[in-house]
Structures are given as C-alpha cells and as structure tokens.
Chain A
Amino acid sequence: MKIAISYPPIINERGQTAMVSQNRNVQFFVTPTYLLPVVHAQAATWLRDLGHDVLWDDGNAQVKSFDRWYADVLEWAPDMIVFESTTPVMKFYWNLTNRLKQDLPDCIAVMTGYHSMRKPEETMQESATDIVMRSNHIDFVLSKLVPYMTDHADWRSSCDLEGLHIRVNNGEVRNTGNFKQVEPLDRSPDVDRNLVGWKNYAYENGNFLQTPGTYATSVIRDCTFGKCTFCRYNGPDLTFSIRSVEKSLDEYQRLIEEEGVREIFDDSGVWYRGQEARQFAQGLIDRGLHKKGCYFGLNTRFAYLDEETIRIMGEANFRFILLGLEACDDETLQRLNKGYTVGDVARNLEWFTRYGMHPHLTVMVGYYWQTSEQLQGTVDTVRELMFKGLARTLQVTICTPIDYTPYHQECLDGDVLLTDDYDDFDMSEVIVKTPIPHEAYYKAVRSMYGVVFHPRFILRQLLFLLSFRKRDWQFLFSYGWRALRRVRNHIFNLTSAGSSKSPPKPGSVSPQPDPVGAAH
C-alpha cells in the first residue's frame, strides 16, 4: 500500500506556520521551527518495515508552499493519507480532507490527533474522513490496520481493531470501541532517521544549543503523571507506557556515533524518573556517550527528579531541562492538578543549575479564574528565577483550552468560552472570560519576556561564564543572540497586534510569540 504520513503547511494570515506536531499544543511560529512528530515517525518506520511504500510528507520541514505540497500529494497518489489534527486546525483539516477526497476519491483519509480522538463523530460528520483514530498509539494501530486492509477487501465492515471510527460504504459510521490503552512500547521501532529526513529538523529548533540536533524516540508514550487538566495527556482514555532503558541508550549511541548528532531532546510528556532515570544517565556515562560532545535534554515535572538523579544527569551531560511552571500560586496549581506546589520550584531549579543544567520554564497565563494578584505573583516569581539564574530560558503562552481536555471541558461547562470557532483556539489571544481585562495577561507576557533585556539577567549570564563551562559560553554567544532576535520579533509582533487578523478583536496580542531561545 502507498501511505503518506502528511503534515501540510498551515500558514496563517500573518505568515506564521502551525506546528501541530508539538506534544501538548499547536503553536504558530514566525521563525522557522521544525519539530519531528516522533510517534508518527515511528508509525512510518513500522509501515515501511512491513513492506509498504511510505511517504514521509512533512510540508513544513520540507519547506513547501501549500500549493506545492498539495500538487505533490496528488502526483504521488497515496492509497492512504494520515493527518494529525488539533483543535485550532480542525476546520483546515476538514476542508483539506474534503478537497482531497474529491481529487483522490480512492485515497483513504485517516485523521489522528487528540481533538478528533475525543470527538470522532464530529470529524466524521464535518468531513469525508474515512477513519478517525481514537488511539494515540498511531504506530501500533496502523501496523495492524494496514495489513488488515490489504488482506480484507471488506475491512470497512469487518475490521474490529479497537479505537476506530470507520466510514462504511453506505455512509454509516462504525465505532470499534475504546482503543487499547497500553502497548509494549519496545515493540515499536526506533525512528528511521533517513526515512523522515531527520536533518530537515536538525537545525531550525530553538531547543538546540548545538546542531545538528534531533528528537529521540520518546522513552514514555503519553505521560507518567497524566493528570494536568489543560494537557492532552489526560483522561480515562490515556495511560502511559515506557521504553526500556537499554533500547533507548542504543538509539542514543547510534545517533551520536553514526549520525553525528550533537544534541538530543526527548519530548516525552514526562521523562523517566527514579530508577530508570538514574539507569539511563548512568548508562550514558558507562558507554562514554557523555564525553562525545553531545548534550541531552528532556521534559520533566517539578517534584519528580531527586538530587542524586540530577547529579548523575549532570555528569552524563544533560543540559536542557524543560519544566512546566504553569503558575506561581498554589490555588492555580491545584486547580490544574499539577501535583506540586510553588515551594517545590526553587529547590528543584537549584538542583538542576547546581549540576550545570539549563532549566527552561514553560509558563502560562490567562486562566479563566486568574486574578491580578495571581498573575502578578507569576510575573514576579518568574522574573526573580531568571534573575537568579535558576532558569535560563522561558516560554510564556496563553492557556487555551483545546482538544477537549478536562480544562477545555471545564470552560465549556462553566460557559466561560468567548468563542466556539475552532480557528480562534490558536493560542494567539485569551478566549475565556476572565476576572481582569485580557490586556493584563498580554502585559504579563511582555513583562516576562522582557526579562532578557534586564541588566540583572544579563549580568547573571556573564557571571555564568566564570564557571568556564563550554555550554555557558555557547549559551551567551549563540543562544543568547537567538533569544534576543526572537524577543525583538515578538515585540514587533505585539506592536502590530490587531492589525493583521481578520476580524481584529479587542485586546488582541497576536501572534503567539516564539519562545525565548527554545521551541517549547
């Protein structure tokens, strides 16, 4: 079977490109940023291994215009095309699927992604999609579904693989039930780097201090915690599964020794913790990979990694540590089910910085309950953490309910959403009723990003140079320059807000800023 795993270029009116492949949210980026969709890349690898003709078709990373991308798809004429969708681009995908089904009526359109997964009936109704996959185990499902299709002409009516909505020939939709929640992750193959053109993603990604960088095949599918209300990795339909440490270490070794990768990031919802985390870091050391000039990075949570683990990680050459600091008041953290308190934050950051790592904070504002005091608490705490050097980079986003997460459902149930047009869910502006004017949240975003121009922040970066660690010098002279460039773009965007979006909305701060120094 000819299968295209496709990411069409989605470019908004401001010339920004949507990255739907990011693990928790869609984001529109001004500067080129290409994120490897790891699970779909594993699916492509698996299908290719099964003998199918697979087209890895990321129009963004391959720097195609939409028209060029579409023409190429028509020319290749796949038997199956697989998309990944999320709330703010659902309408785009529905329209695209309808158009594609007119031009390639025999092509089986498969919709994956967290929005359609939770609202499969909607996508079946709004588009000519043939299959909605309710599973986030895309690789596992496709590896069973495609062979079934090739062996059974009547697959639409006979296939009983869990977690599918299938359009049968008379227009009726079959629901095959809940998808299988746990899969042995080691059975899914490592991403074939050549198949996905890994170098297309190796340079334009703010997470990397050194290039070429790449994303590892994630050690965790979904999230070990899986309770945060705003996050996609939450719900009775999700659990997590874990890869073996040795298998992941083997991949790291190959990436470093055979591909010459100089920075590896693992975009698991939350990375290993405890024993596995220590085994992995120690494994890097035992294999000598910590001395190959390659940095390692990961997502984790506050209150998850202990100091001894962090010490070994420091020795193993971990650098980029991405931590969600969604707010700096305990009420908000509690409402978001974060499972840590503000009191945990500074202590954890001290451990990471003590052992030479560069914590990156992902901050959010604009919750429907967020008061002026709560907001100011976040701004003040974040700025102080940056001034003290406890965090090196940050990203501030507007919390936007998407993909029918518990937070999204809360907003619907509480009638606080200001729009039901999915196009408005693009994180470019606050779309919920709030106790204070929206402008206050935009101002807070500017204030936190503005920290990079502050003399205290700059002085702190200079002081880091006294450690004579290579990474600190790199940070100041390459990453720092990149950060300043991004903030400059961001401030330019803020000053032109409201003039480019049609129709403009009061208090608009769009577009969504690029993160300072990093893609997440």
Chain B
Amino acid sequence: MNHKVIGIRDLTASTYVLQLERNGVAFKAGQCISLGVKDHGLNREYSTYSGEHETDFEFLIKEVAGGTVSCALRCVRPGDEVTFSGPFGSFVLDAPQDLSRRYLFIGTGTGIAPFRSYVRSHPDIDWQILHGVRTLEERYDHQDYDPERYTACVSSETGGDYHGRVTTYLRENPVDPDTICYLCGNSAMLTEVFDILREQGVSGNGLFTEAFF
C-alpha cells in the first residue's frame, strides 16, 4: 500500500516529522508502521507520532548516520508516495479507558514518539512523560505537552527541566510502585531503567517496553 506525503516538518538537523495521508487506516496509539521509499525495496518500522483520531499520520524520524531509509524519506516531497505496511505491534495502552491508572512514559530521543500518540489519543488519562535527550533541541515538540506533565532530562546542556540522564533522575525521584510504566528507547536504557523501577517496587506486570534500534 502506498500513502501520499503531505509534508515534512524539520525539528533538528537530523530529525523530522513525516506527515502522510491517513487513507482511513485505523491504528492503536503506539503501534508502528513499516515505511519505505517507493521502488527502493527497503523499509523500516516507525512508531506512530500522531493520535488515533487525527486526520493524518505523523512519524518522528531521526536520520541514522549511513542509514538508507531514514535519509531517503527526508528527501520525499509533498505529493510523493511512500510504501506503507501496518499497523503492527502491541506496545499500546493496556486499558486507556480506566482513568484511575497513573502512567509514567519514559522515552529517550525519538522514543517519545509512541507517548505523544498515547496522550493525543487519550487526553483524559493521568500521565507523566520523562524524556531523555542530549540537547535542548531534541525535546521534540515539547511545547505540545502540559509542562506539568513533561520533564525533559537533558544530559549535555543546561536549561531543561533536569540536567542529567533519565536514570539519574529516576534514582533521585523514586516512582510510586503503583504507577504503570512504559519504556521506549534503546536496549541499554531499557535495561537500566527496568532495573531501577523494579528496585523501587514497580511490579513487573506494570512495566512495558519497546526497544528502538
């Protein structure tokens, strides 16, 4: 299936948001889609960045050094078509209709993508986002979030909500064990955060992970 490009919104020198026509495709917030440039014979999975009820699809993409698909997709223009397979995956909110739950979404870099999709799809849930980035400019679309609910942990620059890594933040600010935690990012971060949360008493049943690579 091909979907038409609506536009590209540059966020940083290496990161952009790709907007595609929705074409009536249903998905659950946090699922991913395989995207590729037409006739290239390649694709990569990207988590949805937009909400379930929005008109278009959005994907938060970082150009990978030496990468093929992430770089090629940045060159598409409005009106071009990209290959589209999906949605796939089960990194979705377990019971978003249960408003008594408290969620903590922990993502690093573009790992924030599924969480933006969650909160845009389910604005009534009780959520907090902990976003680990290296620089201030990597706080992708941070203005979209309620500042009371969004904490940027910026490791290489000052001026964010917290100066340091998400792991340090979590050690200094223990999590209520009843919180349901969703983790998205690279495997090393997931492993470290998982261990910290377990030590703080969060149940393994309340921990969900999605590895980016």
Known: A163-B204, A235-B90, A339-B86. Contact between A181 and B209, CB under 8 A? yes
Contact B83 A184 (CB under 8 A): no
Binding stretch for chain A, among B62-70, B139-147, B171-179: B62-70
CA distance A178 to B68 in the complex (A): 36
CA distance A348 to B65 in the complex (A): 22
CA distance A343 to B191 in the complex (A): 38
User: Is residue A224 within 8 Å, beta carbon to beta carbon, of the partner chain?
Assistant: yes
Contact of B191 among A184, A240, A339, A351 (CB under 8 A): A184
CA distance A224 to B68 in the complex (A): 17
Contact of B211 among A176, A236, A239, A343 (CB under 8 A): A239
Contact B187 A182 (CB under 8 A): yes
Contact B204 A162 (CB under 8 A): yes
User: Is residue A203 within 8 Å, beta carbon to beta carbon, of the partner chain?
Assistant: no
User: Is residue A155 within 8 Å, beta carbon to beta carbon, of the partner chain?
Assistant: no
Q: How many residues of B contact A (CB 8 A)?
A: 36
A302-313 interface mask toward B, CB cutoff 8 Å, 1 = contact, 0 = none? Answer: 011110100000
In the bound complex, residues from chain A placing their C-beta under 8 Å from that of B66 are 274-275, 278
Contact B42 A303 (CB under 8 A): yes
Closest chain-B Cβ to A348's Cβ sits at a distance in Å of: 5
User: Is residue A83 within 8 Å, beta carbon to beta carbon, of the partner chain?
Assistant: no
Contact A180 B211 (CB under 8 A): no
Q: Using CB atoms, name the residue of chain B closest to A344.
A: B41
Contact of B64 among A180, A182, A227, A274 (CB under 8 A): A274
Q: Using CB atoms, name the residue of chain B closest to A241.
A: B187
B11-49 interface mask toward A, CB cutoff 8 Å, 1 = contact, 0 = none? Answer: 000000000000000000000101010010111010000
Q: Using CB atoms, name the residue of chain B closest to A239.
A: B211
Closest chain-A Cβ to B212's Cβ sits at a distance in Å of: 10
Closest chain-B Cβ to A308's Cβ sits at a distance in Å of: 8
Please indicate which of the listed interface residues B65, B89, B187 has the most CB atoms of chain A within 10 Å of its own CB.
Answer: B187
In the bound complex, residues from chain B placing their C-beta under 8 Å from that of A182 are 187, 190-191, 194, 209, 211
CA distance A278 to B66 in the complex (A): 10
CA distance A162 to B203 in the complex (A): 9
Contact A347 B41 (CB under 8 A): yes
Closest chain-A Cβ to B3's Cβ sits at a distance in Å of: 13
Contact A236 B43 (CB under 8 A): no
In the bound complex, residues from chain B placing their C-beta under 8 Å from that of A308 are 68
Closest chain-B Cβ to A109's Cβ sits at a distance in Å of: 23
Closest chain-B Cβ to A356's Cβ sits at a distance in Å of: 19
User: Is residue A72 within 8 Å, beta carbon to beta carbon, of the partner chain?
Assistant: no
CA distance A450 to B188 in the complex (A): 48
User: Is residue B207 within 8 Å, beta carbon to beta carbon, of the partner chain?
Assistant: yes
CA distance A278 to B67 in the complex (A): 11
A-B contact number at CB 8 A: 95
User: Is residue B210 within 8 Å, beta carbon to beta carbon, of the partner chain?
Assistant: yes
Contact of B88 among A227, A241, A305, A348 (CB under 8 A): A227
Contact A274 B67 (CB under 8 A): yes
Please indicate which of the listed interface residues A162, A225, A303 has the most CB atoms of chain B within 10 Å of its own CB.
Answer: A303
Contact B209 A239 (CB under 8 A): yes
In the bound complex, residues from chain A placing their C-beta under 8 Å from that of B190 are 181-182, 239
CA distance A176 to B198 in the complex (A): 13
User: Is residue B150 within 8 Å, beta carbon to beta carbon, of the partner chain?
Assistant: no
User: Is residue B162 within 8 Å, beta carbon to beta carbon, of the partner chain?
Assistant: no
Q: Using CB atoms, name the residue of chain A closest to B68.
A: A306
In the bound complex, residues from chain A placing their C-beta under 8 Å from that of B34 are 303, 339-340
Closest chain-B Cβ to A238's Cβ sits at a distance in Å of: 9
A228-239 interface mask toward B, CB cutoff 8 Å, 1 = contact, 0 = none? Answer: 000000011001
In the bound complex, residues from chain A placing their C-beta under 8 Å from that of B90 are 235-236
Contact B213 A242 (CB under 8 A): yes
Chain A 189-204 interface residues, beta-carbon cutoff 8 Å to B: none
CA distance A278 to B86 in the complex (A): 27
Known: A182-B194, A184-B187. Contact between A177 and B203, CB under 8 A? yes
User: Is residue B100 within 8 Å, beta carbon to beta carbon, of the partner chain?
Assistant: no
In the bound complex, residues from chain A placing their C-beta under 8 Å from that of B1 are 334
Chain A 348-377 interface residues, beta-carbon cutoff 8 Å to B: 348, 351
In the bound complex, residues from chain B placing their C-beta under 8 Å from that of A163 are 204
Contact A303 B204 (CB under 8 A): no
User: Is residue B169 within 8 Å, beta carbon to beta carbon, of the partner chain?
Assistant: no
Contact A225 B210 (CB under 8 A): no
Measured CB to CB, the residues of A under 8 A from B are 162-163, 176-185, 224-227, 235-236, 239-242, 274-275, 278, 303-306, 308, 334, 337-341, 343-344, 347-348, 351
15 further A-B pairs in the complex, CB-CB below 8 A; given A240-B213, A304-B42: A176-B204, A177-B204, A178-B207, A181-B207, A182-B209, A183-B191, A184-B188, A239-B209, A240-B211, A275-B64, A275-B67, A337-B86, A340-B43, A344-B43, A351-B41
Measured CB to CB, the residues of B under 8 A from A are 1, 32, 34, 36, 39, 41-43, 45, 64-68, 83, 85-86, 88-91, 187-188, 190-191, 194, 198, 203-205, 207-211, 213
A-B contact pairs, 24 of them (CB 8 A): A162-B204, A177-B205, A180-B204, A181-B194, A181-B209, A227-B32, A239-B209, A239-B210, A239-B211, A240-B211, A241-B191, A274-B66, A274-B68, A275-B66, A303-B34, A303-B41, A304-B42, A305-B42, A306-B42, A343-B39, A343-B41, A344-B43, A347-B41, A348-B41
